[in-house]
Amino acid sequence: MTPLKFRDFLQTPIRQPLIMGILNVTPDSFSDGGQFLSVPAAVLAARSMVDAGADLIDIGAESTRPGAVPVPAIEQCRRLIPVVQALRSLGGLTISIDTTSSEVARACLDEGAHMVNDTSAGMNDAQMLPLIADRKVPVVLMHNQGSPATLEAPPAYSDVVAEVKRFLRERLDAARQAGCADEQIIVDPGIGFGKTTAHNIQLLERLSEITTLGRPVLLGTSRKRFIGEITHTDAPVDRVFGTAATIAWGVANGADILRVHDVGPMKQVVQMICAIQFSRKNGFAGGERGL
């Protein structure tokens, strides 16, 4: 999807959800750390995801797994900028930068990135939201209880959905006060970030409540530990079917952007759920019998 079409998507009330492919240029991400550290490997992975149906590519240079060590902005830029430059030269691709640093975001936007995915919702860097407002680019604001260094601490909520929704509403207001237009903002309930398996399941069960904030919802469940706990799969790569179930549920309950590792299979999930949802519009209603 081109950046222009993505902007149109953010302003369209009825739409087929988009697939955001995950590209980690890190040595220590929980699922694919170290696989795409070289620029050629990262570009090949991005092109493969686009060919499989990705609408956006989200590039991160700092792991957000529990216990991860913060990566200085200069090192994030060293990892990210050559990849952004290479992908930008391909054209017609919406590039998202996964960072909580305004310095990193600014450098990557200068090199041609199109949006920012901030897992701190602008909390980690006071200059992030003013930067987003100044550049007029889309931003993802995600709920996160704690930091990677403290995510192993037992999280506590009286009502996880109500508290996540309240946090996101507050961050929406903060973004507006910084000068961001509503049309720039995407919200993310932060599945797996400072939440137990029970909390994650409650957020999925009541995902439609997050959609009442009136902004597109990004859902990131791909290969996460809570899926492994439920399906008894230790290796993240073995959680594809569990992930597919969460993607199907997410689409059926209002998710607009699905952030995933396994682009091809998840694209098929989105296509099938949308075919069911919009069966009459797509000409599948009428009683015909099929195989």
Contact by Cβ (8 Å): 175, 140: no
Cβ proximity of 242 and 231 under 8 Å: yes
Long-range contacts of 10-18 (CB under 8 A, 24+ apart): 10/138, 10/183, 10/184, 10/186, 10/216, 11/183, 15/256, 16/270, 16/274, 17/250, 17/251, 17/255, 17/256, 17/257, 17/258, 17/270, 17/274, 18/55, 18/56, 18/256, 18/257, 18/258
What residues are paired with 139 via a beta bridge? 116, 185
> Catalytic: 169?
no
| Rounded-to-integer distance, Cα 244 and Cα 241, Å | 5
Pick the catalytic residue: 165, 223, 224, 267?
Answer: 224
* Residue among 106, 165, 195, 259 flagged as catalytic: 259
Q: Is 224 a catalytic residue?
A: yes
Active site residues: 224, 259
